[in-house]
Amino acid sequence: MPSGLIVKSSDIHAAGCYTTRPIRKGRRICEYTGPRMPKPEADKRYADRYVTYLFGYGAKDMVIDGFGTAMFMNHCCEPNCETEEEDERIFVVALRDMAAGEELVYEYNLWDSDEATQDCFCGKPNCRGTMFAAAEVERREKLVKKGQSRIS
Ligand SMILES: [Zn+2]
């Protein structure tokens, strides 16, 4: 585990990732690590599992199957981190200065999920109620308007 980070229970979801020391805005905190595979292979592997830690990258046809500290970071609609991609590697970066003890959270911006909903329980006043990306919410709303009963 990268130094200065710990995993412990969280109010948002079972476990979360916290910093034990202050972090400056713009700092790369850690990398989203894990085995890499084509998305269809991951979908097959996790077809019957509700919780996965897949992170799409590149042209979104590949995923990282999260294994490491970053997979414990929860989604929040008022994030203090964001993810950035460089040379097909995903890094978690601080969006603002943080104090020791803060839980590290970023917006998942989920897309292309088989789940009908991905509810958010971050509890922030501006909570969007979903972990889907804005574009994904729009896409789904259009499908509903077209009268499709199933979203896939
Ligand atoms: Zn939320």
Q: What is the pLDDT of residues 74-123, one digit of tens each?
A: 999 999 999 999 999 999 999 999 999 999 999 999 887 777 888 998 99
101 neighbors 20 (Cβ within 8 angstroms): yes
Q: What are phi and psi of 137, to 5 degrees?
A: -60, -45
Domains of the chain listed by start with CATH number: 5-107 (2.170.270.10)
Ligand 1 centroid – CA 117 distance (Å): 13
> Quick one: pLDDT at residue 115?
76
Ligand 1 centroid – CA 81 distance (Å): 14
> Quick one: pLDDT at residue 47?
85
> Quick one: pLDDT at residue 60?
77
80 neighbors 92 (Cβ within 8 angstroms): no
pTM: 0.86
